[in-house]
Structure 1
């Protein structure tokens, strides 16, 4: 058994345990971590020496002062999230990185933890603030020299750090032969807002504004504050005009919700100038000057505008935005903008009509520079292709129903219609797969309908589409491949899918040195897979001659008949012989 004289630690613990208040006092005073106790309103009651060293003050200078006087929060708002009136179910402890304001005017980065001290009724009546000075990766204390690159109001990189990152980014872009973009942001009329609110509230507003902007910038890009109300965004690796414009628009949208100051609601906008490397400049100073100049150009147009250094580029992107707006309007009101025409498909030997293809046309073509098919890629990028596709299907269903009910020979003809690639996906804008949408069209049979799947949608990743295509087949719908020979197709997959037809463009003859052999090879391959080829795009005699003798029975093109409105089909059919059974 160990003798009592050999257990001094236990004895010491026994002695201290008799005086817990003295132990707590010694721990508070001697801790190397800054400790502050405040009342429920955040006013300082007690500090230790470590906090005085961090803040550069004497303890007598702290009593009665609000704790917020000694630090600047990088979060907005910076006031205490918990007060004496806070309900007991709210968390009573939180942590954040702050800048400790020293008496000499410098700022020091510290990690602040706040713990509520609860009374007998579990209400927070006092608070313990813990300040831990941050260290670098090698364990050295971070002093004010490490924060020379950080803006103390917003916590963002300042001009010194931006210039360093921009220099590295330019060097890397030059080596990799890539582009980058610089966005110069000026907050419109912020000086007037700052003067009316006061500089303390103005600083808080800048912090909130910086947070909104930061949320719209990717982690690999840099948002910096140059000073006053001016910010800069550096977009690396993807500095195209389109991506720069998209980011600029997101930044402007982030400022749209009103800012609050007391009972006031404030609206803010930003003028943004965009400079591109290497188009507009090749070094740090020139690129920044170019972006600032573009910002002044934007500001002259009015608040909340953006501009590029190259005014022609600004005009081009403005026109692009206008076109996208018009297309979106047209898709959401298709009956006012589109109509469906039909182009006959013929047997090349008898010239009897074997089917119709539904083709989009503008109702007012003079408003547009190109036919609707020219904009299909843009519509797909805007996520509008499925909406337009569904309008086409509904219109074709209505036309077919009218032909069938009236006893017209047109009701006996199959109708083909091209699908957009997005329609192969299960997750459409309304979460309805295509087969479910078709089931709601109140048709007894879809054996008259052929849906043409673009060949570029039949790559190696067909798992998402194969089940949908087979469900469409079970509805009686015929399936065709659009653009075979123009885009690569996984042939083993194609052999497994339920396709009955495929179109081959006659214009391939003029696109390749051995174009005719390519068309012939495509047709032979399709015939071997029991898929009937249709030669399309035969718009003149020269193309008809070029594909003469090719192994395809069916043809289509303006040489035989252009696409025409539904009302014109019956007269055309009467004049061009019977429908082929």
Structure 2
């Protein structure tokens, strides 16, 4: 066994690991654990949340080759468990290595210990996967059903913290014994990791049989557990998935059972739930969307289209600027902007990558306009940013101001970066430093979504914004006092020397209302929808000719 810190540096290792690795215990502290092994197979996630990214896994297994100091390698099964802090972030990792070879170096033919969870003696994820695949094949041939039960012990983390990890491990062992005794000999109980277990019910996999077994499991946990002088009550939330009605393959069955467990947990401790097909369909659609978005953002030139929407001077009708607008060229979703998927993009951690592609694409258009002496080159271009850009610790260690410097442009005075107001409220002090660094580059800054999200207006006087975008939806408020908020907001911004721009003007009625405001800049489909750079050239030429 090896304990590492969050960065993977060894804190301590036991003698058994040092024998496998062929080194002294006193020598390993401070070394990266990856120094001692090479991966043989892709990690198998244990008890992962639905849709969890690889970086978010808290428990996994994989076969590796341990590197010995004599140059030889030996096959080893490595199980990794993350030790989480109060914010559910890993602060250490516990790695358990099980040798798959004899002391002489011969690989074991009997893989029994590879498939056993050392804490409880139950089958682990590897054996469960084998048995589930075998059971699915038999069920398909015999046209039978089977059931998968996903068990999560309620509030076990709090109990584990209260009694200590050693005692918590003992309780898990006793709990596993109770669950095992409540099952039939032909059923499989496996431990996924942590306080999560799976039960595989073969042959008699009807909903009625699964419910009877589930209730028997919960009854087995009813007697209190004795820990020292304390009596502890443990309950379990259990989700049930059926083959073939809920899912037809190994991963889908476990995912469906896990989602049912979440449904059970919402009902309260010690409850059971079958698969909610609406929830399952929603989960599948969410996974499909994430997969497609991830592929699109990694190949943006193939999947996205960059358009531009003009900004208009309400008094003169002249075009005073442009906003870069992105469209996803997906068969179903292409009409929706990426802002419609901002939560998904943020969860995938891909917002910065997509924004940078937009910035570089806009720069390419601007340089082209300069080269062709187009009047478009004289217009400022606004680019919306995700709030992740406001932090210094980006995925490639290049903060936004460093990235812009690397574009090697003579001037950035034509570029306007739109900062989401919701991203400012979480860390105003840290964000203000980044905004001031951008201002020193010559970039103009706009606050986006003002009036839509809560924000401390007093901060506006301290931040280097010279423009603010306000959604025209405020003019649709049913009460006059609420509609007056738009005019009050415009005047407040002007008093702070911030130019307001009303966006989302899509019809004549809103345009008429906005024309009565003190705001002189507007944007929306009523004036001109988002169009391609080629169409923009023609639109601007025709508009200029018409005004002459």
* Alignment TM-score > 0.5, same fold: yes
What is the aligned partner in structure 1 of residue 296 from structure 2? 330
Cα pair distance change 1:87/1:202, threshold 3 Å: closer
What is the aligned partner in structure 1 of residue 505 from structure 2? 538
| 1:456-490 deviation per Cα after TM superposition (whole angstroms, max 9, x unaligned) | 12226312111111111111100011111112222
RMSD: 4.2
TM-score (norm 1): 0.54
**Is 1:482 equivalent to 2:448 in the alignment?**
yes
TM-score (norm 2): 0.58
| Distance (whole Å) between structure 2 residues aligned to residue 286 and residue 523 of structure 1 | 66
Cα pair distance change 1:386/1:499, threshold 3 Å: same
| Distance (whole Å) between structure 1 residues aligned to residue 117 and residue 15 of structure 2 | 11
Matches within 5 A, 1:171-182: none
Residue in structure 2 matching 1:558, options 496, 507, 525: 525
**Is 1:294 equivalent to 2:241 in the alignment?**
yes
SS in structure 2 opposite 1:544? helix
Task: Give the drift of 1:391.
Answer: 0.7
What is the aligned partner in structure 2 of residue 394 from structure 1? 360
| 2:475–2:486 Cα contact (<8 Å) kept | yes
Cα pair distance change 1:570/1:484, threshold 3 Å: same
Equivalenced residue count is: 360
Matches within 5 A, 1:1-12: none
| Distance (whole Å) between structure 2 residues aligned to residue 479 and residue 506 of structure 1 | 20
SS in structure 2 opposite 1:547? helix
Cα pair distance change 1:441/1:512, threshold 3 Å: farther
**Is 1:230 equivalent to 2:177 in the alignment?**
no
| 2:323–2:382 Cα contact (<8 Å) kept | yes
SS in structure 2 opposite 1:576? helix
What is the aligned partner in structure 2 of residue 491 from structure 1? 457
Residue in structure 2 matching 1:219, options 122, 146, 157: 157
| 1:325-344 deviation per Cα after TM superposition (whole angstroms, max 9, x unaligned) | 00000110000011111100
| 1:404–1:411 Cα contact (<8 Å) kept | yes
**Is 1:303 equivalent to 2:250 in the alignment?**
yes
| Distance (whole Å) between structure 2 residues aligned to residue 88 and residue 373 of structure 1 | 54
Task: Give the drift of 1:380.
Answer: 1.1
**Is 1:572 equivalent to 2:539 in the alignment?**
yes
| 1:137-175 deviation per Cα after TM superposition (whole angstroms, max 9, x unaligned) | xxxxxxxxxxxxxxxxxxxxxxxxxxxxxxxxxxxxxxx
Which protein is bigger by CA-based radius of gyration?
A: 1
What is the aligned partner in structure 1 of residue 491 from structure 2? 524
| 1:352–1:579 Cα contact (<8 Å) kept | no
| Distance (whole Å) between structure 1 residues aligned to residue 497 and residue 486 of structure 2 | 17
| Distance (whole Å) between structure 1 residues aligned to residue 328 and residue 247 of structure 2 | 38
Task: Give the drift of 1:362.
Answer: 2.5
Matches within 5 A, 1:36-435: 89-90=24-25, 197=110, 203=116, 207=121, 219-220=157-158, 225=176, 226-227=179-180, 229-231=188-190, 284=218, 291=238, 293-294=240-241, 296=243, 301-305=248-252, 306=254, 307=256, 308=260, 309-366=275-332, 368=334, 370-435=336-401
| Distance (whole Å) between structure 1 residues aligned to residue 413 and residue 395 of structure 2 | 27
Task: Give the drift of 1:401.
Answer: 0.5
| Distance (whole Å) between structure 1 residues aligned to residue 427 and residue 418 of structure 2 | 18
SS in structure 2 opposite 1:370? coil
Q: In structure 1, list runs of 5 or more residues that go unmatched.
A: 1-77, 93-195, 237-246, 252-270, 274-279
SS in structure 2 opposite 1:481? strand
**Is 1:466 equivalent to 2:432 in the alignment?**
yes
| 2:246–2:277 Cα contact (<8 Å) kept | no
| Distance (whole Å) between structure 1 residues aligned to residue 220 and residue 365 of structure 2 | 62
Task: Give the drift of 1:387.
Answer: 0.7
